[in-house]
Amino acid sequence: MKYLIQLFIFIILVFISFYIFILSVDPYDKYNFNYWELKTKAVNSYRDNKFNQIDNSQIKYDLFIIGSSRVQGFNPSLIELETGLKTFNYGVNNSKPEDLLAITRHIIAKQKPKIIFLQVDFYHLNKSIPIDRRLKTSPLGKYLNENIKASSSNSIFYLYNQSYLTLRSLRDSIKIIYKNKLGKIETTHNKNGMKIEHKIPKKAKLAKAYFQNEYKNYEFGKQRIQDFIQLKELCKKNDINLIVSISPMNKEHFLTLMKNKKLFNMLLMFKRKIVEIFIEVYDFNNLGAFQYNYPYWIDSVHPSMELSNIMSEIIFDRKKEESNIFGKKITNDNINQYLQDLNISSQKLFSN
Applying CB under 8 A, what is the total number of residues that bind another protein?
28
Say which amino acid occupies 233: E
Instruction: State the alpha helices, DSSP H only, in 57-89.
Output: 76-83
Between residues 158 and 321, which has the closer beta carbon with respect to another protein? 158
Q: Are strands 115-120 and 63-66 parallel, antiparallel or unpaired?
A: parallel
Helix (H, G, I), strand (E, B) or coil at 113: coil
- Give, as ranges, the residues between 277 and 296 that touch another protein (CB under 8 A): 294-295
Q: Is residue 184 at the binding interface for another protein, with CB under 8 A as the rule?
A: no
Q: Does 1 bind another protein (CB under 8 A)?
A: yes
- Residue 59 binds to another protein (criterion: CB under 8 A): no
Only one of the segments 23-31, 130-138, 191-199, 332-340 lies at the binding site for another protein (rule: CB under 8 A); that segment is 191-199
What is the greatest pairwise CA distance in the chain? 82
Q: Which helix (H) or strand (E) holds 14?
A: helix 2-25
Q: How far is the CB of 7 from another protein (least distance, A)?
A: 4
Interface region with another protein, contact rule CB under 8 A, candidates 1-9, 66-74, 87-95, 174-182: 1-9
Give the number of other Cβ atoms within 10 Å of residue 170's Cβ: 17
Nearest to 215 by CA among 251, 250, 259, 245: 259
Beta bridge partners of 328: 283
Instruction: Please provide residue 50's backbone torsions phi and psi, each rounded to the nearest 5 degrees.
Output: -65, -40
Kindly indicate which of the ranges 75-83, 115-123, 147-155, 199-207 contains the residues binding another protein, using the contact rule CB under 8 A: 199-207
As a whole number of Å, the end-to-end CA separation of the chain is 67
Closer residue to another protein (CB): 304 or 346? 304
Q: Shortest gap between Cβ of 282 and another protein (angstroms)?
A: 29
Question: Does 130 sit near another protein (CB under 8 A)?
Answer: no
Amino acid at 27: P
Beta partners for 119?
A: 245
* Cβ-proximal residues to 106 (8 Å cutoff; 6+ apart), any chain: 51, 54, 55, 140, 143
Instruction: Please report whether residue 350 would count as binding another protein according to CB under 8 A.
Output: no
Closer Cβ to another protein, 182 or 196, answer by number: 196
20 makes contact with another protein (CB under 8 A): no
Comparing CB distances to another protein, the nearer of 30 and 124 is: 30
CB of 26 to another protein, least distance (A): 16
Residue selected from 181, 199, 261, 319 as contacting another protein according to rule CB under 8 A: 199
Separation CA 201–CA 81 (nearest Å) = 28
Q: Cβ distance 306 to 293 under 8 Å? A: no
Residues ≥6 apart with Cβ < 8 Å to 219 = 126, 127, 128
35 near another protein (CB under 8 A): no
Q: Which stretch binds another protein (CB under 8 A): 14-22, 82-90, 98-106, 147-155?
A: 14-22
Selected from 200, 277, 287, 349, the binder of another protein by CB under 8 A is 200
Site string for another protein, 131-170 (x = CB under 8 A): -------------------------------xx-xxxx-x
For residue 283, with 0-12 CB atoms within 10 Å meaning exposed, 13-18 middle and 19 or more buried, which class applies? buried
Interaction of residue 15 with another protein, rule CB under 8 A: yes
The residues that touch another protein, with contacts defined as CB under 8 A, are 1-4, 6-7, 10-11, 13-15, 18, 162-163, 165-168, 170, 196-202, 294-295
